[in-house]
Homo-oligomer: A and B are copies of this chain.
Amino acid sequence: MNNIDTIIEHAEQNCKSHGSRLTTKRKQVLSLLAQTDKALSAYDLIDLFVKENGEKIPAMSVYRILDFLEAEHLVHKLKLANKYIACSHITCKHEHGVPQFLICSVCNAVKEITVNKSTINELNQSVEQAGFKLVSPQLEINCICNECLATAS
């Protein structure tokens, strides 16, 4: 059983365990996201979907499916890039904290990292001092990955 199948399997269990359904379409979309480390836009997914499954899918459906997958914590929406990525912890058992993302602004590669708790706390202090409350410490940081950096130079 390969990695993708494992992920889908876990995702399906995950959904079942609280009464939601990972339908065929949802599996297909999740599968597309799980097969890459790049962030994909909804319209990227529409194109990919046709290529992989030889079948069209409406924009509306993709957005609905992405909303569902996000609510299930199976994908993350990167607001900075208006793109989506599979959660890299689907097959983990432990509760995972709030993710931080590094987004390569050249190739859209995304890395989900865990920032030091203390760093986040410090950040939170700055926020509170300014009279705001953190909604979610999800950070999305514009970067260049080492590969693109090497290619460019």
- Inter-chain CA distance A143–B129, complex, in Å, is 13
Task: Choose, from A15-23, A53-61, A144-152, the stretch at the interface.
Answer: A144-152
Task: Choose, from A24-32, A42-50, A134-142, the stretch at the interface.
Answer: A134-142
A127 / chain B contacts, CB cutoff of 8 Å: 102, 113, 141, 143
- Inter-chain CA distance A45–B79, complex, in Å, is 22
Q: Does A122 contact B (CB under 8 A)?
A: yes
A142 B136 Cβ-Cβ under 8 A? yes
Query: Which residue of A111, A116, A133 has the most chain B CB atoms within 10 A of its CB atom?
Result: A133
A116 B111 Cβ-Cβ under 8 A? no
A145 B131 Cβ-Cβ under 8 A? yes
Known: A102-B127, A126-B119. A149 touches B133 (CB 8 A): yes
- Inter-chain CA distance A138–B80, complex, in Å, is 12
17 A-B residue pairs with CB within 8 Å: A79-B79, A79-B142, A104-B132, A111-B132, A113-B126, A113-B127, A119-B122, A119-B126, A122-B122, A123-B141, A131-B146, A132-B146, A133-B143, A133-B145, A134-B142, A137-B141, A139-B141
- The 9 A-B pairs with the shortest beta carbon distances in the complex, nearest first, are A132-B143, A119-B122, A102-B132, A135-B142, A131-B146, A113-B130, A115-B126, A111-B130, A133-B144
Residues on A close to B: CB < 8 A? 79-80, 100, 102, 104-105, 111, 113-116, 118-119, 122-123, 126-127, 129-146, 149
